[in-house]
């Protein structure tokens, strides 16, 4: 775990020193992302997808970041036993942007990290609950579109551990910082001054 932390720190440090995204603000933050989650097993119905992330624009076409995702799935409320699915993930993220000439651009990316899933069963509307959970490695490929400070994306959360629930989420987020600046970043200005 210490080696992984050291490797991640070194990668981020290198990108901060040598990365160049002259047309975009260096950091952007999806404070809260929310939308609809579609589970890919038949035990629970669709529910709420949510999350947040912080990204660093390493170049005009590539960003890296860290983030968290979660989902709560509904069950059959008319049944004697009602199941609720719960999942969460901590991810390292990378996105490739198909354009670098405006604040409106499409992207595709992937997240890698740990996924935790579980179920809560409510029996006959009683307070009694049974919670079972597991944690394992997973992937999160995604595609989306940025409309300046609004980010729309579809993400497939694929857990690689048997018994965990996979789901597809469609979400929207308000992004702070970030945005297109037409090549007038403070970092570029600093470099020109030094040159």
For residue 147, the enclosing domain spans: 2-194
152, 141 Cβ separation under 8 angstroms: no
For 46, half-sphere exposure in the C-beta direction (CA atoms, 13 angstrom radius) is 7
Q: Rounded distance, CA 110 to CA 43, Å?
A: 27
Q: What is the mean pLDDT of residues 73-92?
A: 77
pLDDT at 187 over 50: no
Least confident of 145-149, 154-158, 165-169: 165-169
Query: Which band of pLDDT confidence, cut at 50, 70 and 90, is reported for residue 76?
Result: low
Q: Looking at residue 63, which CATH number applies to its domain?
A: 2.40.160.20
Its pTM stands at 0.77
Number of domains in the chain: 1
- Under DSSP, the state recorded for 165 is P
pLDDT at 14 over 60: no
Mean pLDDT of the residues in the chain: 80
Three-state DSSP at 176 gives strand
Distance of CA 83 to the CA centre of its chain: 25
């Amino acid at each position: 775990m210490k080696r992984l932390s050291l490797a991640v720190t070194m990668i981020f440090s290198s990108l901060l020193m040598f990365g160049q995204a002259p047309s975009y603000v260096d950091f952007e933050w999806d404070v809260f992302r929310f939308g609809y989650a579609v589970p890919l097993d038949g035990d629970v119905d669709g529910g709420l997808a949510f999350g947040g992330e912080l990204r660093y624009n390493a170049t005009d076409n590539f960003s890296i970041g860290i983030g968290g995702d979660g989902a709560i799935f509904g069950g059959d409320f008319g049944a004697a036993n009602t199941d609720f699915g719960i999942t969460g993930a901590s991810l390292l993220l990378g996105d490739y942007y198909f354009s670098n000439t405006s604040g409106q651009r499409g992207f595709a990316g992937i997240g890698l990290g740990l996924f935790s899933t579980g179920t809560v069963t409510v029996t006959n509307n009683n307070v009694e609950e049974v919670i079972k959970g597991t944690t394992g490695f997973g992937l999160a490929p995604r595609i989306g579109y940025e409309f300046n400070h609004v980010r729309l994306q579809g993400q497939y959360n694929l857990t690689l551990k048997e018994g965990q629930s996979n789901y597809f989420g469609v979400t929207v987020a308000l992004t702070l910082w970030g945005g297109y600046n037409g090549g007038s970043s403070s970092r570029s200005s600093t470099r020109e001054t030094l040159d």
